[in-house]
A and B are shown apart, each in its own frame.
Chain A
Amino acid sequence: MNNVSIIGMTSIIAATLCMVIGSIAPAIGEARAIVQALGSIAQQPDEAGSLSRTLFIGLAMIESIAIYCLVISIILIFTNPFWTFVTSKSGG
């Protein structure tokens, strides 16, 4: 197995693992946040405006963790620096 195929294989596996593992924690966190916010809105419907605003900000914060994973996965698959280095060195 030469360098190019090793790098290709590890990149794909790493990108998949990064996305799979990295989306578990934000999913749980967002679910908990939404559950809490819905419970609070049910208790105090008057505060729905400020509650949902805070909820959106919090969701964006949590979601950015998953977005980091997505960015890393996309870099690994589409613009992999190691892949570019090896293929340019072997003249391919």
Chain B
Amino acid sequence: MPITPDSTIYWKHGFVHLNATILYTWILMTLLTVVSWLVTRHLDSSDLHRSRWQNVLEGIVVTIRGQIREICPEAADTYLPFIGTIFLLIAVSSLLELVPGWHAPTASLSTTAALAICVAVAVHVFGILRQGVAEYLRHYVRPTFLMLPFHLLSETSRTLALALRLFGNIMSESLLVGVLLAIAPLFFPLVMQAFGLLTGLIQAYIFAVLSMVYIAAAVQSQSEQKSEQKGRAHE
């Protein structure tokens, strides 16, 4: 039984393999881009002529921005494109499991590892943009130099955990449906598939919130400590 869509290969030329993961990621990207482009072609700010699709997209964007603002109240709009893209990609790829023949690209470790590496890089980029290189790198040796290996270890392990969590959840869900089909056909797999939609959405939410928490920690750690020190100096 193939456990990831990586092993389904459609086209091969030399060392270039076009497997199901890449193909379905492309389909997903095209779908998201074309739908967004079609909707945002005729944006209208007046209340009378607002299309229902614009309402849907506005609702999604406003909700995501609200969630980001709860975690990092200062500059929600800076992180909205990155976090929102990740959330929509994972959520739509899970929801499309309703379509027969769809392989969620997030059921492959390559996709989730790529997403987790994107988050790991974005944490450093946002931290450096906010504080400057020297000030950002200094937080690795805080409170003492002895903490350096632990900081590095925690960053590696959380990136690994981010990738493995999403991969394990999505992959096990599709595998579970396959196993249940052999044991108790028709009814029970249906229930599990409905449950899988919920799990997919929750995992998308968790992935987005966790990456936002990591970014917020990298951005805020210095400024909070500075304000604490200032507060102590005033006392």
Q: Identify which of B168, B205, B206, B210 contacts A71 (C-beta below 8 A).
A: B168
Binds B, one of A5-13, A34-42, A60-68: A60-68
Given A53-B209, A56-B202, A60-B206, A67-B169 contact (CB < 8 Å): yes
CB-CB contacts of B180-210 with A at 8 A, as 1s and 0s?
Answer: 0000000000000000000000110110011
Q: Identify which of A56, A67, A78 contacts B168 (C-beta below 8 A).
A: A67
Nearest CB in chain A to that of B172: its residue: A70
Decide: A64 and B164 in contact? CB cutoff 8 A: yes
Considering the chains assembled together, what is the distance between the CA atoms of A53 and B69 in angstroms? 13
Closest CB-CB distance, A57 to chain B, in whole Å?
A: 6
Decide: A57 and B70 in contact? CB cutoff 8 A: no
Majority DSSP secondary structure for residues of A touching B: helix
Chain B residues, CB < 8 A from A49: 70
Tell whether A74 is near chain B: CB-to-CB under 8 Å: yes
Decide: A67 and B205 in contact? CB cutoff 8 A: no
Nearest CB in chain A to that of B206: its residue: A60
> Which residues of A65-86 have CB atoms within 8 Å of chain B's CB atoms?
67-68, 70-71, 74, 78-79
Considering the chains assembled together, what is the distance between the CA atoms of A49 and B71 in angstroms? 12
Chain A residues, CB < 8 A from B169: 67
Considering the chains assembled together, what is the distance between the CA atoms of A18 and B104 in angstroms? 27
Considering the chains assembled together, what is the distance between the CA atoms of A74 and B3 in angstroms? 8
The number of chain B residues with a CB under 8 A from chain A is 20
Q: Identify which of B3, B210, B213 contacts A79 (C-beta below 8 A).
A: B3
Chain B residues, CB < 8 A from A60: 165, 202-203, 206, 210
Decide: A68 and B210 in contact? CB cutoff 8 A: no
Chain A residues, CB < 8 A from B206: 56-57, 60
Decide: B168 and A68 in contact? CB cutoff 8 A: yes
Tell whether A50 is near chain B: CB-to-CB under 8 Å: yes
Considering the chains assembled together, what is the distance between the CA atoms of A34 and B209 in angstroms? 19
Decide: B165 and A64 in contact? CB cutoff 8 A: yes
Considering the chains assembled together, what is the distance between the CA atoms of A74 and B2 in angstroms? 11
Chain A residues, CB < 8 A from B168: 64, 67-68, 70-71
Tell whether B75 is near chain A: CB-to-CB under 8 Å: no
Considering the chains assembled together, what is the distance between the CA atoms of A63 and B199 in angstroms? 12
Decide: B165 and A56 in contact? CB cutoff 8 A: no
Closest CB-CB distance, B177 to chain A, in whole Å?
A: 14
Given A71-B167, A74-B175, A64-B161 contact (CB < 8 Å): yes
Decide: B205 and A56 in contact? CB cutoff 8 A: yes
Given A53-B70, A67-B169, A68-B164, A78-B209 contact (CB < 8 Å): no
Considering the chains assembled together, what is the distance between the CA atoms of A46 and B165 in angstroms? 31
Closest CB-CB distance, B171 to chain A, in whole Å?
A: 8
Q: Identify which of A71, A78, A79 contacts B164 (C-beta below 8 A).
A: A71
Nearest CB in chain B to that of A63: its residue: B165
Chain A residues, CB < 8 A from B165: 60, 63-64, 67
- Excluding A56-B206, A67-B169, 9 further A-B contacts by CB distance (< 8 Å) are A50-B70, A53-B209, A60-B165, A60-B210, A64-B165, A67-B168, A74-B172, A78-B1, A78-B3
